[in-house]
Amino acid sequence: MGEMWKGNHAIAEAAVRAGCRLYAGYPITPSTEIMEYLSARLPEVGGSFIQAESELAGINMIIGGAACGYRSLTASSGPGISLKQEGMSVLADEELSAVVINVVRYGNGLGTLYSAQCDYHRETKGGGNGDYRVIVLCPSSIQEAIEHVFLAYDLAEKYRMVAMIMTEGALGQMMEPIEMPDFIEKKRMPWALDGHYSYKKIGIFDRNSMKEAIDLNQKYNTIKENEQRWESDNLDKADYVFVSYGLPGESTKGAVEQLRDEGYQVGFIRPITAWPYPEKAFNLINPNVKGIITVESNATGQMVDDAALSIKKTKRDKNVPTYCLPYVYGIPAIKEIKKDFMKILSGEIKEVY
């Protein structure tokens, strides 16, 4: 049995062990413990910590670290991640590797302090200007969040892009026993700026935007093909398949287990990558499935769009109804999910698609 760690502290220590050399950011609940921890910890291991004047400056400092080829990190929540969108678009444009953590809290504008999944659309579709993608990992336990820190850096560097860890307020604040991985050594990325002009560059006005866009799209297609990740169970037999990620994903798993004990043929998909969306999991679903049900911690129902598109793509001849159970914020209780499933069966809750 491992040591007890708070989610945000565990993520921060994992970043140090994954070779992160620069953190820059601005405090915001419920992400702040990440930066508090790193303010003391990074200098101990020869890294740098900068308390930025804003999230906008924070992401731009990360751009500096990433351009010089070192593992760099910023974390925030809600409106803070809004301010980072400009920088994320720049990172995509320059094909730089960096990791951004969103400890999601609920709400528009200033928002609230409730744990939620309201930023799904923005993170998976891209929130800054342009035509880019970000790899999005969504852990459902602290141990998995730690693994995602290492994975995020590896994917970010393999594909030279931003990898985001989309965790949730509650996951950042809770404690679990975990195993912390060993330290790894990271050198400057070979393609980085080193002051010696090791790699030739062209001026911005000499760029071939058409070719760049086509190559970038090719890269995104490769990622869609190779990097879908998910956890699933009983898909081949299920009449109804629940789809849910993060902490609501864990509740959903619990609800599916109990419903199966009660005799219902249900299964689940827990997306681990929200982008690329695990479409391939939908291939494994029983051809006679009666419905897909997303369980989400937001008000409008966001992931339901991707679930509906995925079932359409994989079961083209069927018109499988897709339902959404949006619990606004927090983590839905197993009994709530079960109760709402009965409403779907009775026709009281209608499909979205």
Q: Is 24 in the site for other proteins (CB under 8 A)?
A: yes
Spatial distance between the Cα atoms of 86 and 71, rounded to a whole number of angstroms: 20
In the complex, minimum distance from the CB of residue 66 to other proteins, in angstroms, rounded to a whole number? 8
3-state secondary structure of 239: coil
Among 1, 44, 109, 197, binds other proteins (CB under 8 A): 197
Choosing from 187, 196, 211, 316, the residue that interacts with other proteins (CB under 8 A) is: 196
Task: Specify the residue, 199 or 236, whose C-beta has the smaller distance to other proteins.
Answer: 199
- If the CB atoms of residues 15 and 238 are measured against other proteins, the closer one turns out to be 15
Stretch that binds other proteins, among 154-162, 196-204, 222-230, 314-322 (CB under 8 A): 196-204
**Which residue matches tokens 């995925």?**
310
User: Among the residues of 50-141, which ranges form H helices?
Assistant: 55-67, 78-83, 85-93, 120-125
What is the x/- site pattern for other proteins, positions 102-141, by CB under 8 A?
Answer: ----------------------------------------
From the list 132, 108, 110, the residue with the least C-alpha distance to 118 is 108
CB of 47 to other proteins, least distance (A): 8
187 binds other proteins (CB under 8 A): no
Does 255 bind other proteins (CB under 8 A)? Our answer is no
Which of 195, 209, 316, 347 lies at the binding interface for other proteins (CB under 8 A)? 195
171 binds other proteins (CB under 8 A): no
By CB under 8 A, tell whether 193 contacts other proteins: yes
Give the whole-angstrom CA distance, residue 61 versus residue 202.
23
Residues 134 and 275: beta-carbon distance below 8 Å: yes
DSSP-derived pairing of the beta strands 72-76 and 22-25: parallel
Interacting stretch for other proteins, rule CB under 8 A, among 168-176, 203-211, 252-260, 309-317? 203-211
Q: Is 194 in the site for other proteins (CB under 8 A)?
A: yes
Both structure tokens of 332:
């839905």
Ramachandran region of residue 263, left (φ > 0), alpha (ψ -120 to 50) or beta? left
Residue pair 172/8 in contact (Cβ under 8 Å)? The answer is: yes
Q: Looking at this protein, which amino acid is placed at residue 312?
A: K
Task: Between 196 and 211, name the residue whose CB sits nearer to other proteins.
Answer: 196
Cβ atoms < 10 Å from Cβ of 39:
15
94 binds other proteins (CB under 8 A): yes
Place of tokens 């009449």: 239
Site for other proteins in 303-332 (CB under 8 A): none
49, 38 contact by CB (below 8 A): yes
- Residues of span 44-63 touching other proteins by CB under 8 A: 48, 50, 52-54, 56-58, 60-63
β-strands 3-6, 175-178: how paired?
A: antiparallel
* Token pair belonging to 159: 């594909």
Q: According to the binding rule CB under 8 A, does residue 76 interact with other proteins?
A: no
The half-sphere exposure of 42 on its side-chain side, counting CA atoms within 13 A, is 24
CA distance 250 to 270: 8
Choose between 89 and 167: whose C-beta lies nearer to other proteins: 89
Shortest distance, position 253 Cβ to other proteins, whole Å: 40
Binding test (CB under 8 A) with other proteins, winner from 44, 187, 190, 203 = 203
In the complex, which residues of this chain contact other proteins (CB under 8 A)? 21-22, 24, 48, 50, 52-54, 56-58, 60-68, 70, 72, 86-87, 90, 94, 193-197, 200-206
